Chain A
Amino acid sequence: MYEFPPFFTRQPNEDTWRLQLKLWQDVVYKWCLANNEWRLTPSADVFTNKRIDRTLNIDAATHVLTEMCRKGVAEKLENNETFLVYKHTPADLATELRQWARETGHETSVLTFYELSEGELPSLEKFINADDITLKRVAEVLERRKEGVAMKEEGECVGIKITL
Chain B
Amino acid sequence: MWIVPALTPGGALVLEAQERVLYEAEVTRVHAMNQYRQGTVVLTSHRFVYIDKVKASSQSLETAVSGLKNIYFIKQAAIKQNVAKYITEENLGKLYVEIASGSNEDWSCAICFSVNRSTLDVCELCGVKREFDLSDSDLSASINLEPEDLPWKPSTRRGQCPGCMHVNHAMLRNCEMCGTELLQRESDYNELYLNLEFKKVNDCQTLYDLLQKTTTKPELNVSESQSSLYGIQKLRIGTKSSVDRSNELLKDINSFQQFKERASEISSLAQQITSTHHDILLGASEPADVAKQIATILVRDNILAEHGGLLTLHECFAIYNERRAIGLISPGLFTQSLKLLDKLGLPVQIRQLESGLKVIESRSHNVQIRQKLLQWIALLSAGAGHSCGVSARDVSEQFKFGIHIALEELQAAEKDGDLCRDEHISGLKFFSNDFRLFRTRNNKISSTA
Binding site for B on A (CB under 8 A): 1, 3-9, 11-13, 15-16, 19-20, 22-23, 26, 53-54
User: Cβ of B442 and Cβ of A5 under 8 Å apart?
Assistant: no
Q: B433 an interface residue at 8 Å Cβ cutoff? A: yes
- In this complex, the member of B420, B434, B436, B442 whose beta carbon has the largest number of chain A beta carbons within 10 angstroms is B420
Q: List, in ascending order, chain B residues with CB within 8 A of A22's CB.
A: 439, 442
Binding site for A on B (CB under 8 A): 386-387, 389, 414-415, 417, 420-424, 429, 431, 433-436, 438-439, 442
Taking a contact as CB atoms closer than 8 A, the residue among A8, A13, A26, A54 that contacts B415 in the complex is A13
User: Cβ of B433 and Cβ of A16 under 8 Å apart?
Assistant: yes
User: Cβ of A13 and Cβ of B389 under 8 Å apart?
Assistant: no
- In this complex, the member of B415, B417, B422, B436 whose beta carbon has the largest number of chain A beta carbons within 10 angstroms is B422
Give the A-B contact count at a CB cut-off of 8 A. Answer: 58
CB pairs A–B below 8 angstroms (19 shown): A1-B438, A3-B386, A4-B431, A5-B387, A6-B389, A6-B420, A6-B421, A6-B422, A6-B434, A6-B435, A12-B414, A13-B414, A13-B420, A16-B414, A16-B433, A19-B436, A22-B439, A23-B438, A26-B442
User: Cβ of A4 and Cβ of B434 under 8 Å apart?
Assistant: yes
Q: List, in ascending order, chain B residues with CB within 8 A of A3's CB.
A: 386
A15→B433 CA distance, assembly (Å): 11
Q: List, in ascending order, chain B residues with CB within 8 A of A5's CB.
A: 387, 389, 422, 424, 429, 431
A1→B420 CA distance, assembly (Å): 13
Beyond A5-B431, A8-B422: 14 further Cβ-contacts under 8 Å?
A: A1-B434, A3-B386, A4-B387, A4-B434, A6-B420, A6-B421, A6-B422, A11-B414, A11-B420, A11-B421, A11-B435, A12-B421, A16-B414, A19-B435
Residue of A nearest to B430 (CB): A6
A100→B415 CA distance, assembly (Å): 50
Q: List, in ascending order, chain B residues with CB within 8 A of A23's CB.
A: 435, 438-439, 442
Residue of B nearest to A19 (CB): B435
10 A-B pairs closest in CB distance: A5-B422, A19-B435, A6-B420, A6-B422, A9-B423, A6-B431, A19-B439, A11-B420, A9-B422, A16-B420
